[in-house]
Chain A
Amino acid sequence: MAGLEILPFQKPARTTEPCRSRYCTLTKIGPLLELRNIHKWFERVHAVNGVDLDIYPGEVVGLIGDNGAGKSTLVKIISGRLRPDEGEIFWEGHKVRISSVQDARKLGIETVHQERGLVDCFTVAKNIFLGREPRKAGFVRVVDYARMRSESEKVVSWLNLRIRPEQEVRFASGGEKQGVVVGRAMYFKARLVVLDEPTRALSVMGVEKVLGFTEALKKSGISCLFVTHSLGQVFRVMDRIVIIDRGEKKVDLEKARFRTVHELEEKIFQIITGDRR
């Protein structure tokens, strides 16, 4: 795919300090993305305070926190909309600097956001290929609308979207719109999809749809960071849950250890209240 280019990775900085990435170059298994000791201040507010976060290939991580807990700041740092004041980011074990949304996209990080990412007056097909339009061969490489249309047909069917490729995005519901962005991430083979509060202001049907998209992403081996307020919503699809509160990571648990959401909730309650019974 001509669309996806991965930047030549920056070599780990040659310092006296050993590289702190947990990525193992021999077995090739290790976190896809690693955040190490990330700090971010907004004037005197310590919005993110020393957060470590690993996301493994194909893993769905639920990132949960209240408003103002620092989760959206963290998401902005991952998606390239903010620079951390301190801390390191590793991508497949290589230290990287994500200083713009384009940098993130070049690594393979796509962000799904309710208000951004789609041009409302464009069709679904045009939106999927915006910025990476397929061209016809020839002297003047004109945009190949037919190809765009047929490829979008595929994307729409992967995710069972009701909206057609030739329809304008503004007619789609909130959930479907995010489906278009998820479909785009899948088509261009993103490695990590950050779903930034995808369930906010959605109906039960809409939430169900978004969870379905997440499962589809996972099935195609794409890692997800699912940001939300509510634990109950993500429990079904996630593999790991990370809770941050007042800028600090409080909880990082594998879901496999818990059978129901209640068990998990109890454990979280224990951790947060410091009750170790």
Chain B
Amino acid sequence: MRLRAENTLVFILDQMAWLLVILFYTSFAVLKPGALLNPDTLRFIVYSSIPLGFLVVAETIPLITGNFDLSVGQATGLAAMASAYVLMRNPTLNPQLAFVMPFAFGLLCGTLNGFLVGILNLNPFLSTLGTFLLFDGLTLMIYPQSIWGGDIPRYYTTFGGTDYTAIIFFTASLIVLGVALKYTGVGIHIYATGGDKESAAMLGIRTNLVVFLAYAMAGFFSGASALIYTGFVNGVPLNLADGAIFPAFAGAVIGGVSLSGGRGSVVNSFAGCLVVGILEAGLTMFAISPDQRKASTGILVIFAILLDRVRIKYRDRLLRPKD
């Protein structure tokens, strides 16, 4: 019986990010019931977290392998700009092809990162710093101005611009990815590579390929983010997803992803991203200025790291064999 109670506790500790979501939401709801209890507000909070949510998911996969990716935000910008540019020049493009484009461009960016870090074994920090600058420059080279919604076909912006489609698309992706990471060999190998690369390699796991794949997946989800962003802001501004890497990291950390690899889940990372979203929305409703909101998010991240340390300690105590 005691074992069951402990398992429940471990389960709750693993869902800490979701507890934070509930905690923040209810406390803002109590303070300002009229604004936050409104279902439209809730829907908007979720919807507005989705472009960033895809980025958090993209960031989480390389993090689990024990690497990281500074360039996901820039990859999103590049994929969005490249797709929008092609659509602006060829408005009669086949819609199926149009929707494939951002994913393909994102995947291309991810493949480059994966090649550098996974296959060539370069330092992930330095090589993704390089691709960060490269993608940033390429975005400007493609088109040095913003592209607005009117210049690209309606169907393309409506997909990300409608809250329901965005939410459904994101939820479905999250479920598929979450299941894939837990129940497929590749998913387990992604965690194993982050947990102990050398041992994993000894057991016949091709860790180089796993890392490559993780970055490619990150690129793919950057592309997904690009599609939703384009709809969300109805166009592709020049600085789209500029600096989005920082909240993406913050979300992953609040969600309990370990920077040394092997631990974390994409679903919890999204919860971390929601915590940031709720905090931002709640503070906005109290007319707090953007700079103060930014500072509060910073404090939240530090608080989350501390909380995570306590959580791990307590969780280990529960899991340690008792005899």
Of the stretches A113-121, A211-219, A239-247, the one at the interface is: A113-121
Q: Is the CB of B321 within 8 A of A101?
A: no
A177 to B43 alpha-carbon distance, docked (Å): 49
Q: Is the CB of A119 within 8 A of B199?
A: yes
A131 at interface (Cβ–Cβ under 8 A)?
Answer: yes
Q: Is the CB of B321 within 8 A of A130?
A: no
A131 to B185 alpha-carbon distance, docked (Å): 8
A153 at interface (Cβ–Cβ under 8 A)?
Answer: no
**Which residues 228-244 of A have a CB within 8 angstroms of B?**
none
Nearest CB of A to B175, in Å: 14
Nearest CB of B to A148, in Å: 10
Contacts of B205 on A, CB cut-off 8 Å?
130-131
A122 to B183 alpha-carbon distance, docked (Å): 14
Of the stretches A13-21, A49-57, A161-169, the one at the interface is: A161-169
**Which residues 96-136 of A have a CB within 8 angstroms of B?**
101-102, 105, 111, 116-122, 126, 130-133, 135
A122 to B189 alpha-carbon distance, docked (Å): 11
Contacts of A168 on B, CB cut-off 8 Å?
319
Q: Is the CB of A171 within 8 A of B320?
A: yes
A202 at interface (Cβ–Cβ under 8 A)?
Answer: no
Interface string of A132-146 (1 = CB under 8 A from B): 110100001011010
A102 to B202 alpha-carbon distance, docked (Å): 7
Q: Is the CB of A163 within 8 A of B195?
A: no
With A122-B191, A122-B192 as contacts: A102 and B204 at CB distance below 8 Å: yes
Contacts of A105 on B, CB cut-off 8 Å?
204
With A121-B195, A121-B262, A162-B323 as contacts: A143 and B185 at CB distance below 8 Å: yes
B184 at interface (Cβ–Cβ under 8 A)?
Answer: yes
A sample of 8 inter-chain contacts (CB < 8 A) reads A105-B204, A120-B196, A131-B205, A133-B188, A162-B323, A164-B321, A167-B319, A171-B319
Q: Which residues of B contact A (CB under 8 A)?
A: 179, 183-185, 188-189, 191-192, 195-196, 198-205, 262-263, 319-321, 323
